Amino acid sequence: MGMGISDSSKPNVEKMENEKNIDGLTRALDDERASVRREAAIALGRIGDARAVEPLIQTLKDQYDYVRREAAYALGIIGDARAVEPLIQALGDEDSYVRGDAAEALAKVGKPAIEPLTKALKGGDSRVRDAAKGVLGKIMVPPPPPPPPSPTIDASFVNRCLTLQYQEDREDRNWGDIPEMRNVASLGNAGRIDEATRLAESLLPRYPDHYFVYYWLGYLGMRQEAYDNARAALGDGLKKCRSKHSLCQELGEIELKARNLPEAVYWWTQSILLQNSVGTREDYNPFLYLAYVAQFLGLSHVASELFQIVDSIRFGQVRLSGTAASDLRQLVTSQSNESMREMLTELYNRHLAPPPPAPLGQPTVPPKMKTRCVKCGQKMTITSRGVIFLGPGEPNVVKLRCEQCDITRFERKPDIENELKRTLPREFTLTPQEY
C-alpha cells in the first residue's frame, strides 16, 4: 500500500469527505504520502459507507502503524462482517495501538465476530489469543458504567505540577550528525525493537548525557509494555542530560498507557514548563494531550490556546485519532477532579495566556527565519535525502545547507513547513533542491 499514486498535487481529502466522494477517498488510500492515507482512512470512517470496507482492509497492511490504526478504527465504525477476519489478523500487529483499535473494531462489529474469534482462541499467536478472549468478553458481557470521578487527588497536586523540578539546557550535539543514533531511530521505526534497544544501550558509555539515547530506551521499553524499565531509563536521563523536555513527554506517554492520568498530566506539564524555560517550544505532544484533557474538563479557553500552540509548532493541524481521544476521555472521566481543573487553569494564567497586543505604533520584532543562513541571510537549500527521522512516524527533521558559508544545520520539518506554508516531500533522493 501507499505507492500507487505519485501525482505531486496533494488530494483534497476534506473536500472529498464533504462531498462523500468514496471513490476519490479510496484512491487516496493508495497515495504515496502516509499522511494522506491516514486522512483518507479517517474520512472514510466518518462517512461510514460499506463501499470502503475492502480498500480499508487492504490498508490494514500499510507500512506505517498510524495509518493501520485509522483503518482499523474506520472498519469498526462501518461494522461490516467482511472485516472480521482481517481485523483478527490485526490483533497480532507489532504495534499495540493497532492491536487495540482492531480489538475495539471487532467489539463494534459484535455478534458476527463471535465464531471467528472463538476459532482464534485455538491459534498459535498468543497475542491474538489473548486479544480475542478480551474482545469476546466485551461482545458477550455489557461493559460496566464508568466509575464516578474521584473527589480529590492531593492538595499538593497543583503545586507539584507547576513547580519546575528540573533545569533545561540546549543540546548542541544534533543526533542527526551521529550515525549510530540515526541507526537507532531507523531500527526502532522499522519495528526491530531488540536490535534498536541493544544499539541504544551500547551508546550510553559514549553519550551519557545525551537525551536521544534515553528517550529511545524509554520509547522502546514502552513499545514492549515494559513500563518499569522505560521509567528507569528516562529517570536516569533526567539526572544526566542537558535537554529534558522530551524525556518528560515520554514519561507522560508511559503513564497514559499505564492508565495513570494524574502522573501523565504531571509529566506533560513539566515538559511544557521546561520548553518555556528556554524560550523554545518544539515538542507539540504535551500541549496536544493537555489540550484534550482541558477540553474534556470543559475548559474551552485553555483547550483552545493549547491547540493553537500545537498548530504553531506542527504544520498540518495534527490531532489524536478517534480511538486515542475516546480512551483519554474515559480516563479524564474516571480520574480527574477539581484539582486537575485548577492546575490547568493556573497553567494557562501563568504560562500560556497570550500577551496583550503591543501599543499602536510600537515596532514589532520579526521572527527568526529558520530557512535563512544565520551568517549571510541567504535562503538555504535542503540537501539530498534531507528529510529524515527523529521519532516514530513521519520523517520530521530537515537538513539545510548554505554552500556560500559552508554551513550545515538541522531544523524540525514542521517548522520549515510552517515557514514555507507548504508540505515537504518525505525525502529528497536526487540532487539538492532549493525551495
Whole-model pTM over 0.75: no
DSSP 309-344: HHHHHSTT-----HHHHHHHHHHHHHH--HHHHHHH
Same domain, residue pair 314 and 404? no
Q: Assess if residue 312 is contained within a domain.
A: yes
Pairwise pLDDT comparison (64 vs 9), residue with the higher score: 64
Mean pLDDT, all residues of the chain:
83
pLDDT recorded at residue 3: 40
β-bridge mates for residue 411, sequence order: 398
Residue 208, pLDDT > 80, answer yes
Name which of 238, 89, 76 is nearest 169 in CA terms. Answer: 238
* Cα dihedral: 109, 111, 115, 120 (round 10): 40
> Given CA atoms 295, 300, 306, 309 in this order, what sign does their dihedral have?
positive
Residue that is written with C-alpha cell 500545537 in the block: 310
Residue 110 falls in which region: left (phi positive, over 0), alpha (psi -120 to 50) or beta: left
Is residue 170 very low, low, confident or very high in pLDDT (cuts 50, 70, 90)? confident
Share of the chain above pLDDT 70, in %: 83
Q: Are residues 190 and 333 in the same domain?
A: yes
pLDDT in tens, 275-322: 999 888 889 999 999 999 999 999 999 999 999 898 888 766 788 888
Residue at 279 is within a domain? yes
Domain of 36: which CATH number?
Answer: 1.25.10.10
Task: Return the pLDDT at 314.
Answer: 76
CATH number at residue 294: 1.25.40.10
Same domain? 210 vs 180: yes
Q: Is residue 104 part of a domain?
A: yes
Q: How high is the pLDDT of residue 86?
A: 92
The answer to whether residue 431 scores a pLDDT higher than 70 is: no
Identify whether residues 285 and 188 lie together within a single domain.
yes
Q: Are residues 43 and 134 in the same domain?
A: yes
Answer for the pair 114, 120: CB distance below 8 angstroms, yes or no: no
pLDDT digits (tens, 9 = 90+) for 375-415: 677 777 776 455 554 444 455 677 777 777 777 777 777 77
136 and 171 belong to one structural domain? no
Matching residue, cell 474515559: 330
> Do residue 188 and residue 329 come from a single domain?
yes
Q: Is the pLDDT of residue 166 over 70?
A: yes
Taking Cα atoms as reference points, which of 418, 416, 398 lies closest to residue 408? 398
Shared-domain flag, residues 202 and 251: yes
Structural domain ending residue among the three candidates 140, 166, 184: 140
CA distance 411 to 221: 27
Same domain, 133 and 162: no
> Both 134 and 165 in a single domain?
no
Q: What does the pLDDT read at residue 364?
A: 55
pLDDT > 90 fraction of the chain, expressed in percent and rounded: 45
Q: How many CB atoms lie within 10 A of CB 141?
A: 8
Interatomic CA distance for residues 137 and 132, integer angstroms: 9
Query: For residue 372, is it within any domain?
Result: no
Q: Within a domain: residue 8?
A: no
Residue 206 lies in a domain: yes
Domain span holding position 190: 157-352
198/285 same-domain check: yes
Residue 107 contacts residue 135 (beta carbons within 8 Å) = yes
On whether both 179 and 291 belong to a single domain, the answer is yes
DSSP 53-69: HHHHHHHTT-SSHHHHH
Nearest to 293 by CA among 255, 247, 244: 255
Report how many domains make up the chain.
3
What is the per-residue pLDDT for 435?
Answer: 36
